[in-house]
Chains A and B, each alone.
Chain A
């Protein structure tokens, strides 16, 4: 096992995908929470906090997707997935798209210098949180967080 081998770095005992995934999950959920609070309290500061959390969440999905696909290609040699692994892959891709869509809605409003964010974003954000949570649940199930050791 070479310490500077890229596969070793990415998969040495703990796949980096499993580590990195916590960043977009946490940032996105807290971003949506801030957005709902901003909508309710009509506070710009909360809206700004929501925006930056959603921005970093979207950026954080990139290494997560890359390490997830690399784990599939290198560890499982890109074999055809089925069952929980396939479900996790599909829901992970869907989660990523939804996180970027939510960020895009926010950033477009800011660019247009509109005061009010569109109301339809809220159900999209709620659905995205559910999908992200389900993906994380499947990932936790796969990684064996409830297993021994």
Chain B
């Protein structure tokens, strides 16, 4: 009786251990996938960084305003592929690129601020 209880305990511990390990593995795979599919552009000191960003199709680009000044992210094409609202400090804007191509953009408040996303 005691032996069967200890075997059951071991089995439970094993199942629990595998479960925890599996969850950890799944989590790391998910975060790796997330890392693969999102890229960040930092807006700071009146510039986009990096100015040119190359990403695979399906990537979501997140622009974060780290400047003290409000900025926008607006594509230069017509009609606009993407256009953010005014981003205050620490506000973000994201856009998913589903088609390959070059997407130049600028800040409509400061038109000298330009950048581009190259989707391959």
Contact = CB atoms under 8 A, between A and B. Distances in A.
Q: How large is the interface on A (under 10, 10 to 19, 20 to 34, 35 or more residues)?
A: 20 to 34
Given A76-B72, A76-B86, A84-B69, A147 B108 contact: no
Interface string B45-69: 1110000000000000000000001
Contacts of B108: 75-76
A81 B47 CA distance: 22
Contacts of B85: 79
B70 interface: yes
Interface of A is mostly: loop
Contacts of A79: 85-86
5 contacts: A12-B111, A76-B72, A82-B88, A84-B70, A147-B46
Given A75-B109, A84-B69, A144-B110, 8 more contacts: A13-B112, A76-B72, A83-B70, A85-B70, A142-B70, A144-B46, A147-B46, A147-B69
Interface of A: 11-15, 75-77, 79, 81-85, 141-144, 147-149
